[in-house]
Amino acid sequence: MSENLPKNDDQWRRKLSPEEYRICREKGTERPFTGEYLDSKAAGTYCCKCCGAALFSSETKYDSGSGWPSFFRPIADNAVRETLDNSHGMVRMEVTCPKCDSHLGHVFTDGPRPTGLRYCVNSASLSLSLKAGGE
């Protein structure tokens, strides 16, 4: 983790809202169809709410109908970390930020071309950096 990032739970709680903390640090999930970025069409880069690392481009965002912002690929090959998640009686691939280990969501193999992947991400784990002129 970076030198300037919080190093313990108390510091993360001061940096994040209670909902952001629950999702990012405790691997929670926001209710479907409620996230800030679900219907966003703004051009820009979706970054990690916790550390600001670039994660996804708006150019790869699409409406999956799942209730969460969905992307068909990360902004770079090493932009996210994928780890097997056996929680809640399911077998899934968890997606986290490789810089600060923030929980982002999960990746599924039912996405569109060209990748066939659906990165299903919680809005609360993201911040959007708008491109110039993007609204």
Q: 120: which strand partners? A: 70, 106
**Comparing C-alpha atoms, which of 97, 85, 88, 119 is closest to residue 25?**
97
Catalytic residue among 47, 48, 100, 120: 120
The question of whether 120 is a catalytic residue gets the answer yes
Active site residues: 120
